[in-house]
Amino acid sequence: MRKVKGSIFIPWAKALKADKTGLYEGHLTQEDKEILSGLILPSSWYSFETYKNCFNAVSKVFAQNNPETIREWGREYSNQIMGSVYKRAIKEGDPKLAMEHFAFVFKSMFNFAKVSTEFVSDNEMIVSIEEYDPDFELCYHLFRGWLEKFIELCLNKTVQTEFLQKTWEGAPLTQIKVTWDA
């Protein structure tokens, strides 16, 4: 069974629990609602399907499924989580070691999927995400923003990213090209 760590689930759960309008009701299953009614712990594991339903509900209601808004959320999340819980993963000035730590953090948040990195030059790499939900497009935009901010934190440089391959368009994996100022 695919699971996610509470540390990545908490932001979505908080947003849903704070809402008193009922806008999310139609987006969640009974099981999702039962999980949300309890305490969400950062170190516990939760159903990926519930995570996905909660993510999609918040994305639809708050962001109107806008990929750029979701990408910004990824940047904000990266700044929060990588600057606190996983701050040891930030390896200033060393993109290779930083990406090893990023892959470790990613694996610690999802009990499936993997991240790998190919360095093309001193200021360019290609990050591949494999065995993740191929149709969960908005989450890939979140990952893109998370990755951008993480590399910015590590290198203290401006970072640009672009998708090279997209599983939601039929590619076997999702690849993100990451470049930064030399």
The predicted pLDDT at position 92 comes to 67
- Between 92 and 2, the more confident residue is 2
Q: Which of 109, 111, 115, 15 is nearest to 61 (CA)?
A: 15
Measured CA to CA, the distance from residue 122 to residue 29 in angstroms comes to 47
What lies within 8 Å, CB to CB, of 134 at 6+ separation is 167, 168
Residue-wise pLDDT for 46-95, tens only, equals 999 999 999 999 999 999 999 999 999 999 988 887 666 566 666 667 88
Residue indicated by tokens 């979140």: 142
Measured CA to CA, the distance from residue 51 to residue 27 in angstroms comes to 12
The predicted pLDDT at position 153 comes to 86
CA distances from 91 to 62, 119, 126, 170 (A): 33, 16, 18, 34
The predicted pLDDT at position 154 comes to 85
Instruction: Report the Cα–Cα distance between both ends of the chain, in Å, rounded.
Output: 42
The predicted pLDDT at position 20 comes to 86
Residue-wise pLDDT for 106-138, tens only, equals 999 999 999 999 999 999 999 999 999 999 999
pTM of the model: 0.92
> Is 138:56 a contact under the CB 8 Å cutoff?
yes
Residue-wise pLDDT for 135-157, tens only, equals 999 999 999 999 999 899 888 89
Residue 1 pLDDT class (50, 70, 90 cuts): very high
Amino acid at 39: L
Measured CA to CA, the distance from residue 169 to residue 182 in angstroms comes to 32
Give strand pairing partners of 179.
Answer: 124, 160
